[in-house]
Chains A and B, each alone.
Chain A
């Protein structure tokens, strides 16, 4: 279960680890400044986003609308601080934008708006809708005879929405091998552990039963994540990656704490979190 998930020993993915650490710090700074937002599910998804944007996705920040680009949809839109930080670190827009998260007039809305932020492929926030849009984009890619792939990051609690399974059925029916669903399996939702609120297990079996190729990985291990992403497209089926993660990952007092789903750190907590992340980062990089 998620509590057993740890950072792997520092190794060959030093650059990615460094980026992930920077993104985590950005997330903490953004949320502290904004005074509201969702740290738990942002921090759990950092390695997934880092792996995608710095290793996997064929995207070019100078041409965010290139028709041949890979698409990424953050279906769990409340984790947008992590997406914004990743996009900024990847060069889609200046890092200074991050300071204005959730402020009136800012492009960085409380949930992602595709019309306001370069690199955001879909406006999300109301849960359960991203995979359906991914199905449409994957169908479009096939119609255009394009080789692009569509990646959709779902929350685990979000998988309680019926629409997710409607989309899963459609993706398998249309044999969308260019579609990847990644489930951020951190095990917690607003009201508590997913298995107590409304049980999802056996989650991998559910995706398999819906006709998907399923891989379960440690969602904080770049080696496992990247090898899962490499296997995409070999089956004549869509791929689901169940990424076991820790909610609030990287900040000791946030890890596995349901309270940090939708609460921003105050200044003191923010500083404490940054200190921890910096220390860990330095330990990793030396």
Chain B
């Protein structure tokens, strides 16, 4: 399917709208923030339900602990801050106070990846998926667009146990089909194609679709999978498409180590060792710049993905020949 025309919205906006709706539906939903409520889009919930909104101030470790205490008392807390702070300032708190006791805390991490932009490397989480995916019992969800983020927020609230919900800063087109309900742990196929399988998550899903369009014009048919849950990974769908295309490209706004590319390689290595080209940030920090400039600089445009697809197909042919 093609990229939908319509208003450009960031995934964090879908999250913020869903929170307000959730607040009306379920009194157990509480929201916490660490002085970033306008950026993380929790401000709407704070206005609507001031008694159920708690600002921890610039104190992420305490933010996570407070959320754990609320969860242990039967509430469904959404703890929101930037991805870099949620994961790196409070990683041990997430491990000790959330994941180990298996508490029902939802960590909503916005401004993930390099597209936070001009603030530079200190604010760009490029390893959060790797860190959280390795944590026992953690569910990791990365919505592709604002609409999917809206749907995913409800699914995350209904999911029993700790969840890491990764959200982005920039506005982006809607790329997921609105008729499909969101389910945690399920890959959605956005485009069929037998020559190659592109696995993407987050903002990169739209880029992958654009690359597939471009390739189609050149006679290469790429399937595009929206891997919106990195953990638990829908290996059934992944293996089915890898078996058919025999070549895979992964695309993420994250380090190529340990995130989507890592998850896909782990799943394929055991039973379906087909060539995989991982697209993402190589082993490096980000830098200041406009989001679009940064994506281009780090090789994450549709053109780059199309080239990676050709590389994957080349490897497949070499392997088969």
Contact = CB atoms under 8 A, between A and B. Distances in A.
A85 B68 CA distance: 26
A163 to B, nearest CB: 4
Contact of A141 (B66, B73, B101): B73
Nearest to B99: A123
Contact of B59 (A121, A139, A140, A170): A170
A275 B57 CA distance: 52
A169 interface: yes
A136 B101 contact: no
Contacts of B56: 166, 170
Contacts of B97: 122-123, 129, 132-133
A134 interface: yes
A67 B74 contact: yes
A211 to B, nearest CB: 14
B52 interface: yes
A115 interface: yes
B65 A129 contact: yes
B57 A126 contact: no
Contacts of B71: 136
Most buried by B among A121, A122, A124: A122
Nearest to B60: A166
B298 interface: no
A132 B73 contact: no
B66 A170 contact: yes
A143 B30 contact: yes
B307 interface: no
A135 interface: yes
Contacts of B66: 132-133, 135-136, 139, 167, 170
A136 B51 contact: no
Given A115-B101, A133-B68, A169-B57, A163 B93 contact: yes
B101 A123 contact: yes
Contacts of A173: 57
B28 to A, nearest CB: 10
Contacts of B77: 136
Contacts of B100: 113, 123
A150 B70 CA distance: 12
A163 B65 contact: yes
A125 B97 CA distance: 10
A208 interface: no
A216 B51 CA distance: 33
Contacts of B62: 132, 135, 163, 166-167, 169-170
B30 A122 contact: no
A144 interface: yes
5 contacts: A114-B101, A122-B72, A122-B97, A129-B93, A140-B69
Interface of A: 67, 113-115, 121-126, 128-141, 143-144, 150, 162-163, 166-167, 169-170, 173-174
Interface of B: 30, 51-52, 54, 56-57, 59, 61-62, 64-75, 77, 92-93, 95-97, 100-102
Given A140-B74, A163-B59, A170-B59, 18 more contacts: A67-B73, A113-B100, A115-B101, A123-B96, A123-B101, A126-B96, A129-B93, A129-B97, A132-B62, A133-B97, A136-B71, A138-B69, A140-B70, A143-B30, A144-B74, A163-B61, A166-B56, A170-B62
